[in-house]
Structure 1
């Protein structure tokens, strides 16, 4: 996954940054980790993730028949029950699917996460196909908050197309999903470039504090909530689906969605 990094990366550090299970815990922590692993096994988690990805691929290729699907390698990791941010702010889930062909999913298997495993998997699948060859190019030097927000919205709506309400990322609060002030605030930052600030606009202030980034006054998951509203406004106008829009440029989506929601984008800066 990190083949492009000169000299590679320290995998122990990557594991920790991705909220992976503690490798040097106390006896009490080790027991919680074993219980978590047992819960994943009992829930048939690995097989369910695989089946969900196959269903997701079928939905995407049905909507876009000539779509190329990468040869996926998937890592399902048991999370760290001692990490406060992971367990509270993002409620036991963290995923990354932005590098073509690779998906990592870190979970703590409480009931909501176990219920949503399939939705979590296809959310990351949508990202992976969006940023695979032939799709959208994520250029770190020029990519905007708008692209990140739209991508999260598309992935959540795609998961909802397949799994109903379970598709919506569960750490986004109900009030955040419908708060017009949150939507307007996120819209004001859509033109922001520089990935150092993306966590602030997409994940919210708690993530910004964790990463030492500038806080902008947004609740956890604000970008997911705004992204889903923007994407749904676009899909309603265009008469299409999130599956069919996997490669649609974010600029095209925002051009349609923003005026429908009574918003105007911020200028890039």
Structure 2
């Protein structure tokens, strides 16, 4: 298998320097390699519209600010670092699970929208999507903390992609629960931490409430909730959920990540496995083992 990281920095420069009327089609061409990630969406998805609704860089404003951000990323060798990290991550996963089947993966790195208040604020300038096998999308603004975490961000999404890949965990929209999402985030963070340490490996939005027992207890109470429309509230928190039309449940930003880290750590401690070895561990077993290890009951 191969991991491809297209030169989106050059493509985005060309888009932002092109006449405004030409930018949408240039962007559509840049996004084409990851069109398969929308294959489960109902109806026809316009990648450009999805980009703009997902805090991707704008096509009609902030050109100089965005071009400056691209220069920051180029100076940091963002794409080269991510390519090397993905190769290292794949090597770690296949060493841990020798019979692992991994599809070819395209990783698209996209600049975020500096005027999107939720993206730049609560989301801390970075989002990632790696749950659809074969495609990874990372949207980022080059805050120093995000530039420092480029490798960790890439391998976190790689862990998702392999977890839900051929022969792996099945993400069934009819039965998938909050616990499946929370566990996947915790294991992906644990994998990034195995490669890059706790300081860089944890997803930033999950750090503030990592040791908050009330938040952990609240997330655990919702692990059995099904319906993907509920996941944003339980995993990302009320503020981000409300921004996309979700119903708040009383959780701070990143609650599911903080709880997922605690569940993953407890599971790995109880079993002696690594996050690489546990890339396809059953979510319900992870939760049950973790909560037993922590001395907490669960009815799931």
Pairwise TM-score range, normalised by the shorter structure: over 0.9
**Matched ranges for 1:209-228 at <5 A:** 209-228=242-261
Secondary structure of 1:104's match?
Answer: strand
Deviation, structure 1 residue 259: 2.1
Deviation, structure 1 residue 266: 5.3
Alignment partner, residue 14 of structure 1: 50
Match status 1:182 vs 2:215? yes
Alignment partner, residue 32 of structure 2: none
Alignment partner, residue 200 of structure 2: 166
Deviation, structure 1 residue 5: 4.5
Distance 1:88 1:138 in 2: 30
Distance 1:236 1:6 in 2: 40
Alignment partner, residue 279 of structure 2: 246
Aligned residues of 2:133 and 2:164 also touching (Cα < 8 A): yes
Deviation, structure 1 residue 49: 0.8
Please point out which of 56, 66, 79 is paired with 2:112: 79
Aligned residues of 1:188 and 1:266 also touching (Cα < 8 A): no
Distance 1:7 1:143, change over 3 A: closer
Distance 2:298 2:48 in 1: 40
Q: Deviations over 1:129-164 (max 9, x none)?
A: 000010000011110000000000000010000000
Q: Structure 2: where are the runs of 5+ without partners?
A: 1-35
Secondary structure of 2:130's match?
Answer: strand
Please point out which of 100, 105, 125 is paired with 2:138: 105
Secondary structure of 2:121's match?
Answer: helix
Aligned residues of 2:233 and 2:247 also touching (Cα < 8 A): yes
Distance 1:205 1:5, change over 3 A: closer
Q: Deviations over 1:55-98 (max 9, x none)?
A: 00000001101111110111000110000100010111000001
Secondary structure of 1:153's match?
Answer: helix
Aligned residues of 1:187 and 1:266 also touching (Cα < 8 A): no
The number of residues matched between the two structures is: 263
Alignment partner, residue 142 of structure 1: 175
Deviation, structure 1 residue 220: 0.5
Alignment partner, residue 56 of structure 1: 89
Deviation, structure 1 residue 3: 3.6
Please point out which of 13, 22, 44 is paired with 2:77: 44
Distance 1:38 1:240, change over 3 A: same
Please point out which of 60, 85, 103 is paired with 1:24: 60
